[in-house]
Amino acid sequence: MAFKNQELAALMERVIKRNPGEPEFHQAVQEVLESLEPVVERRPEFLTKGVLECLVEPERIIKFRVPWVDDQGKVQVNRGFRVQFNSAIGPYKGGLRLHPSVYEGIIKFLGFEQVFKNSLTGLPIGGGKGGSDFDPKGKSDAEVMRFCQSFMTELCRHIGPDTDVPAGDIGVGAREIGYMFGQYKRIRNEFTGVLTGKGLTYGGSLARKEATGYGLCYFTEEMLKAAGKSFEGKRVVISGSGNVAIYAHEKATSLGAKVVAMSDSNGYIYDADGVCLDTVKGIKEVRRGRIKEYLDTHPKAEYHEGCKNIWTIACDVALPCATQNELDGDAAATLVKNGVIAVAEGANMPSTPDAIHTFQKNGVLFGPAKAANAGGVATSALEMSQNSMRYSWTFEEVDAKLHQIMKGIYANAAKAAEEYGMKGNLVAGANIAGFLKVAESMLAFGAC
Ligand code: NDP
């Protein structure tokens, strides 16, 4: 889509020029700037006073060498990143991703999205993201530990409970957070809530593990409710079988839906009787195995190589929970043809712009990642609160707060969309609602 506002168009051109070879970052910025057209029409000072110009430039990018020794005694070298994108409303907050595809552009896109998402939660957290091109797959526990310790040896200079509080993301779960927290504590000689997603014995929050997936379903439930529908009796397809996907399955099922397909980066399973979550947890959380092993105990289910065709399975609700740009225009058209009524993003930016356009054009309820998957970071912020208080809430208390936060995010995104003449467009609504709080703060600071 072309910009009507020439200054926004020029800003987008500058972003592309200044950040060459980073298509994911361009895509994320383009979407936000498009949504903000009606906002700058009413509030031109966001442009004239440089707020938008600052917003698309990270406050700080830290890029470092991560040397570690493999089990053969050989030195391996990876690249580490932390993009501290925006601290206007609180300390930088956002996950760490360990995946071979990681480069600066991926971390920048994720950090940029995180700014708006964190603002939408209503909690005082700024936006950041980090990670490395290290691939934990196939590595021994000792190798993962040596990598994480080396990574934290550098990162610990740049983070802190009031500065920057990283968490997990793809490839970073409880094991990696444990190794990193241990190393931070050893070097800094302090026990603080510097990371979230910690183990329950050393400051973690109950319900953090479940939060992104549960929050995604709470958000989807609100979208469905507003349209007079519910999860009850719906067929659901979920891509991925990691942290977000597993707990999206758990909550969707508890709300009366049947999850019929899940995937990993090799392929997908289809089980017409409903995917057995205990089996998937055993494969993924306990054994770190592959999704195709599901057929060992469920021979009537199907396994297909490659993940893209998961979207050819007919469903009422689709929850992409694996990775960016995993659902394109063709996949969206197929989902629409097969009668999908709602799509909500558990992963960050899993739908391409074409796919989003297809859903919106066809009246499919669409929950964008910034809003729909914000339950993870919201609960991370609740973990920070508990750490500061040196106190722990029960699972039920955290879950109830999460549920309230997700309802609030839905209401705010829906309200902003309506106020700016785009009723029902939660992409625009989430971008606008998230933006306004950050932008007002930046304005208050003067030259930001
Ligand atoms: P996990 O590492 O636990 O799981 C990721 C899942 O996605 C795995 O099943 C993985 O398969 C699959 N996957 C990863 N990369 C690809 C790829 N390139 N193509 C196909 N499948 C892929 O990560 P999370 O569940 O934590 O994260 C999933 C998504 O949710 C990410 O986009 C993340 O940024 C987002 N997110 C996560 C939050 C959290 O709290 N964890 C919070 C908000 C967003 P395999 O095992 O084969 O690699």
Q: What pLDDT tens digit does each residue of the chain (448 aa) get?
A: 689 999 999 999 999 999 999 999 999 999 999 999 999 999 999 999 999 999 999 999 999 999 999 999 999 999 999 999 999 999 999 999 999 999 999 999 999 999 999 999 999 999 999 999 999 999 999 999 999 999 999 999 999 999 999 999 999 999 999 999 999 999 999 999 999 999 999 999 999 999 999 999 999 999 999 999 999 999 999 999 999 999 999 999 999 999 999 999 999 999 999 999 999 999 999 999 999 999 999 999 999 999 999 999 999 999 999 999 999 999 999 999 999 999 999 999 999 999 999 999 999 999 999 999 999 999 999 999 999 999 999 999 999 999 999 999 999 999 999 999 999 999 999 999 999 999 999 999 986 6
Angle in degrees, 0-180, between the axes of helices 23-35 and 426-444, rounded to the nearest 10: 90
Name the catalytic one among 117, 129, 198, 209: 129
Is 129 annotated as catalytic? Answer: yes
Q: Whose alpha carbon is nearest atom 36 of ligand 1?
A: 347
Q: State the distance from the centre of ligand 1 to the C-alpha of 228, rounded, in angstroms.
A: 31
Burial 186-197 (b: 16+ CB within 10 A, else e): eeeeeebbbbbb
Q: State the distance from the centre of ligand 1 to the C-alpha of 170, rounded, in angstroms.
A: 5
Q: State the distance from the centre of ligand 1 to the C-alpha of 420, rounded, in angstroms.
A: 33
Q: Which helix (H) or strand (E) holds 419?
A: helix 395-419
pLDDT of 448 reads 66
323 lines ligand 1 (CB under 6 A): yes
**DSSP states of 121-186 as a string?**
TTSS-EEEEEEES---TT--HHHHHHHHHHHHHHHTTT-BTTTEEEE-BTTB-HHHHHHHHHHHHH
**DSSP states of 252-311 as a string?**
HHHTT-EEEEEE-SSEEEE-TT---HHHHHIIIIIS---GGGHHHH-TTSEEEESSGGGG
**DSSP states of 347-398 as a string?**
SSS-B-HHHHHHHHHTT-EEE-HHHHTTHHHHHHHHHHHHHHHT----HHHH
Q: Which residues pair with 65 in a beta bridge?
A: 79
Distance CA 408, CA 148 (A): 36
pLDDT of 249 reads 98
With the most atoms of ligand 1 within 8 angstroms of its CB, the residue from 134, 218, 244, 249 to mutate is 244
Distance CA 20, CA 105 (A): 9
Tell me the pairing of strands 267-270 and 258-263.
antiparallel
Q: What are the backbone dihedrals phi and psi of residue 375, each rounded to the nearest 5 degrees, phi first?
A: -65, -30
Tell me the pairing of strands 258-263 and 75-86.
unpaired
Residue 242 buriedness (CB in 10 A; 0-12 / 13-18 / 19+): buried
Angle in degrees, 0-180, between the axes of helices 353-361 and 23-35, rounded to the nearest 10: 40
Q: Which helix (H) or strand (E) holds 94?
A: strand 92-98
372 lines ligand 1 (CB under 6 A): no
On the CB side of 337, how many CA atoms lie within 13 Å of its CA? 9
Tell which atom from ligand 1 comes closest to the C-alpha of 263.
9
Tell which atom from ligand 1 comes closest to the C-alpha of 168.
41
Q: State the distance from the centre of ligand 1 to the C-alpha of 347, rounded, in angstroms.
A: 7
246 lines ligand 1 (CB under 6 A): no
Phi-psi region of 277 (alpha: psi -120 to 50; beta: other; left: phi over 0): alpha
Q: Whose alpha carbon is nearest atom 22 of ligand 1?
A: 265
Distance CA 327, CA 212 (A): 19
pLDDT of 1 reads 63
Q: State the distance from the centre of ligand 1 to the C-alpha of 149, rounded, in angstroms.
A: 22
Distance CA 207, CA 62 (A): 31
Tell which atom from ligand 1 comes closest to the C-alpha of 101.
18
**What Rg, from alpha-carbon coordinates, does the chain have?**
21
Cα 5 vs. chain centroid, distance in angstroms?
A: 30
What's the sign of the alpha-carbon dihedral 271, 274, 279, 284?
A: positive
- Distance set, CA 144 to CA 132, 136, 196, 373 (Å): 12, 6, 19, 27
- Distance set, CA 164 to CA 102, 120, 247 (Å): 20, 18, 26
Q: Which residue has the tokens 């049947």?
A: 258
* Cα separation of the two ends of the chain: 29
Q: State the distance from the centre of ligand 1 to the C-alpha of 137, rounded, in angstroms.
A: 13
Confirm whether pTM is higher than 0.85.
yes
107 lines ligand 1 (CB under 6 A): no
Length of the chain: 448
Query: Nearest-CA neighbor of 117 among 352, 381, 359?
Result: 381
